[in-house]
Structure 1
Amino acid sequence: MPPAPPPPPVPPPQPQPISNLTHLNKSKAALPDFFLAALSLFAFLSSSSSSSKSFKFPAFSIQLNPRRFFKIPSISMEFPNSNSKSLTFTSPQSLSEWLQPRLPSHSFASWGVIPGTKNLHNLWLEISQGETSLADSNPPIRTLHVLSLRIIDNHHRLLLESHQQLSDGTLRNRNRPLSEKMKPNETPESAVYRAVQEELGSILGDSDYSQLVRIVPDSYRLKIEERDSVSYPGLSASYVLHSMDVWVEGLPDGDFCTVEEEEYVNSEDTNIADHAVSVKKHFWKWVSPESVDF
């Protein structure tokens, strides 16, 4: 068989015109511009995000600069206290006669006797002032609206009331945020300033509390808890809890104590109030939010 003929020679590559290479020059020129644009965008995002950081704890969010809190003109929904529809009693004696057949005798007899409890005069005052309602049921249920304030500071700490000193000399453990019974038809926001003034006023002085207190936006929560009353053993209670996060200017950095004025000093029932158990002193401490569970 004759040998195969050799392959034809490969022609050398033809040089491309200069116009066909311009896209390479453009790509090389665009590469530094791309990095510069990306670097500028990164710097912009970094500077804008650093001015509005926040720390989120399990139950609330705290802005780094509490002075930027703004006062909420009004809560979006009002929750009037319906305690004005409570059963009424002409005297503590009439209340006692109504309660005795509806409560265990040993529980009722412990009111004002066991340290930390309140007495019949306290409950009658709460009802007469519209702070508490009693359902016409057996067993009776005590219903009240309670404001719970989670006061926070610059160090992201939470203010707790550790305990109270009562007028009978006993101490009552609390370990909870500032809490205050709400008045009839009182909105949560208006209750905030009254509660801070009544329980912390002895250390804050006579100030404009609308300027001292800032409500954290979107921190309002409403929930209902049903449990036995600590103040009145044997009496079931339904607590309508209105909770908010607030920042209060002028509070001490360490543990402190405040003195509360007489609760019913302006009431027409001062003679009965003299027989009630009242809070004389509040003891406060700052704790980390992670150490509590509310």
Structure 2
Amino acid sequence: MNINELNNVLSKHNISTDNWLHEKGTKTVTDLKNEIDGRETVLELINGQLLRVVRLVSVQVKVKLGEQLFTLVEDKQIFFAGGIRKRGLDTLAEKIMVNETPELAVYRCLKEEIGLDFDGSFLFLGENEEIKSSPSYPLLSSMYQVYNYQVVLSEKELEFIRFSEYQKGGQKITLFTLEPSN
């Protein structure tokens, strides 16, 4: 599907892309096309509604420092075009690639998001499915098929964690912090 065909499909379903701009903290039609071409996401008509369907892993990262347990939190994203998106997310997330298991996606998620080459074990917390508005693509609802995991890291592994992620192509930087766990 080329950009014009994608724009036509979105327009046919009354989804305006006028505000899909990096400057506004969102992704663009080209970004959506790249997700579709990369087989990270698909567009499906479900019960008469056009949905972006995404399979992903959600990884809660805990760090044990002494007797205290901390949670890694994605604090905010700074877009080079000028926008800032506050996040406050207590999990890392990564789309599951075609022919990739959720477990392999967890290891890739840790590597890509925080630079950690992790070969330890993690806990599967279950899966869920939800449909909600995507902040990345306003007016295009997304169905998320989420596989949830938790990993507990030691102080030794903390020195290998990167607390910022520079997105390839120079579009944004994501900043992480640690917060005490409840």
Query: Does TM, normalized by the shorter one, top 0.5?
Result: yes
CA contact (8 A) 2:81 2:171 kept: no
Matched, 1:133 2:42: yes
Deviations 1:184-236 (A, max 9, x none): 132111011111111111xx5xxx532xx4313xx331001111111111111
Match of 1:165 in 2: 78
Equivalenced residues, count? 174
Q: CA 1:157–1:113 in structure 2 vs 1: closer, same or farther (change >3 Å)?
A: closer
User: What is the TM-score of this pair, normalised by structure 2?
Assistant: 0.84
Using CA pairs below 8 Å that are at least 6 residues apart, which structure has the higher relative contact order? 2
The structure with the largest strand share of the pair is 2
Tell me the TM-score normalised to structure 1 length.
Answer: 0.54
Residue 123 of structure 1 pairs with residue 19 of structure 2: no
SS in 2 for 1:196: helix
Q: What corresponds to 2:157 in structure 1?
A: 250
1:289 corresponds to which residue?
181
Deviations, residues 37-96 of structure 1 (Å, cap 9, x unaligned): xxxxxxxxxxxxxxxxxxxxxxxxxxxxxxxxxxxxxxxxxxxxxxxxxxxx1x222211
Q: Flag as ranges the 4+ runs of structure 1 deviating above 3 A.
A: 136-139
Q: Which has the higher helix share?
A: 1
Rg larger for: 1
1:103 equivalent in alignment to 2:14: yes
Which residue type is aligned with residue 259 of structure 1?
E
* Alignment gaps of 5+ in structure 1: 1-88, 263-273
Gaps of 5+ in 2: none
Q: How much does 1:183 deviate?
A: 0.7
Query: Which whole-Å CA distance do the structure 2 matches of 1:152 and 1:279 have between them?
Result: 28
Which whole-Å CA distance do the structure 1 matches of 2:181 and 2:14 have between them?
38
Q: 1:234-245 residue pairs with structure 2 within 5 A?
A: 234-245=139-150
- Change in CA separation of 1:121 and 1:104 when aligned onto 2, cut-off 3 Å: closer
**Contact conserved, 1:115 with 1:172, CA < 8 A, in 2?**
no
140, 151, 165: which one aligns with 1:259: 165
How much identity, in percent, do the aligned residues show? 28
Note if contact 2:167-2:173 (Cα within 8 Å) is conserved in structure 1. no
